[in-house]
Structure 1
Amino acid sequence: MPIRLSHPPTLRERLAGADRPLVGMWISSGSPLNAEICAGSGLDMLLVDGEHSHNTLETILSQLQAISAYPVTPLVRVPVCDPVIIKQYLDIGVQNLLVPMVDTAEDAAKAVAAVRYPPRGVRGVGSALARASRWNRVDGYLNDADDTISLYVQIESADAVANAREIAAVDGIDGVFIGPADLAASMGHLGQQSHPAVAEAVSSTIRAMKDAGVSVGINAFVPEVARQHVSEGVDFVFVAADVSLLARASEALAAAWLPGEQGESERASY
Structure 2
Amino acid sequence: MPFRVEPDPSLKDALKDAVRPLAGIWVCSASPLIAEICAGAGFDWVFIDAEHSPNDLQNILAQLQAVRSYPVVPVVRPAVNDPVVIKQFLDLGAQSLIIPMVNDAQQASAAVAACQYPPKGVRGVGSALARSARWNRIDGYLARADETITLMVQIEADEAVRNVQEIVETDGVDGIFIGPSDLAASMGVIGQQNHPDVVAAVITSINAAKAAGKYAGVNAFDQNSARKYMDAGADFVGVGADVALLARATEALAASFNSGEQAPAPKSY
Scaled to the shorter chain, the TM-score interval is over 0.9
Matches within 5 A, 1:200-219: 200-219=200-219
**SS state at 1:213 partner:** coil
Q: Are 2:98 and 1:98 equivalent residues in the alignment?
A: yes
Work out whether residues 221 and 267 of structure 2, in 8 Å CA contact, stay in contact via their aligned partners in 1.
no
C-alpha distance in 1, partners of 2:145/2:79? 22
1:22 — aligned with what? 22
Scaled by the length of structure 1, what TM-score is found?
0.98
2:266 — aligned with what? 267
**SS state at 2:5 partner:** coil
Change beyond 3 A, Cα 1:52–1:262: same
Pairwise CA RMSD: 1.0
1:152 — aligned with what? 152
2:76 — aligned with what? 76
Q: Are 2:127 and 1:120 equivalent residues in the alignment?
A: no
1:35 — aligned with what? 35
C-alpha deviation, 1:10, in angstroms: 1.1
C-alpha distance in 2, partners of 1:213/1:135? 34
Identity percentage over the alignment?
Answer: 57
**SS state at 2:247 partner:** helix
- Per-residue CA shift, 1:39-67, capped at 9, x if unaligned? 11111000000100000000000000000
2:143 — aligned with what? 143
C-alpha distance in 2, partners of 1:157/1:59? 29
- Per-residue CA shift, 1:19-43, capped at 9, x if unaligned? 1101110000000000001111111
C-alpha deviation, 1:261, in angstroms: 2.2
- Per-residue CA shift, 1:190-222, capped at 9, x if unaligned? 111111111111111112222222110000000
Output the amino acid matched with 2:222: V
Output the amino acid matched with 1:133: A
Work out whether residues 248 and 265 of structure 2, in 8 Å CA contact, stay in contact via their aligned partners in 1.
no
Structure 1: which 5+ residue stretches go unaligned?
none
Which has the higher mean CA deviation after the structures are superposed, 8-17 or 101-110?
8-17
1:250 — aligned with what? 250
Output the amino acid matched with 1:150: T
C-alpha distance in 1, partners of 2:151/2:240? 22
- Per-residue CA shift, 1:151-189, capped at 9, x if unaligned? 000000001001111101111000000000000000111
Q: Are 2:46 and 1:46 equivalent residues in the alignment?
A: yes
C-alpha distance in 2, partners of 1:125/1:167? 27
How many equivalent pairs are there?
A: 269
Q: Are 2:58 and 1:58 equivalent residues in the alignment?
A: yes
Which has the higher mean CA deviation after the structures are superposed, 12-21 or 205-214?
205-214
Output the amino acid matched with 1:112: V
**SS state at 2:256 partner:** helix
- Per-residue CA shift, 1:80-111, capped at 9, x if unaligned? 00100000000010000110000000000000
Output the amino acid matched with 2:201: A
C-alpha distance in 1, partners of 2:21/2:81? 27
C-alpha distance in 2, partners of 1:60/1:242? 15
Structure 2: which 5+ residue stretches go unaligned?
none
1:195 — aligned with what? 195
Scaled by the length of structure 2, what TM-score is found?
0.98
C-alpha distance in 1, partners of 2:47/2:250? 22
Work out whether residues 103 and 159 of structure 2, in 8 Å CA contact, stay in contact via their aligned partners in 1.
yes
C-alpha distance in 2, partners of 1:146/1:214? 16
Work out whether residues 29 and 53 of structure 2, in 8 Å CA contact, stay in contact via their aligned partners in 1.
yes
**SS state at 2:46 partner:** strand
Work out whether residues 49 and 77 of structure 2, in 8 Å CA contact, stay in contact via their aligned partners in 1.
yes
**SS state at 1:264 partner:** coil
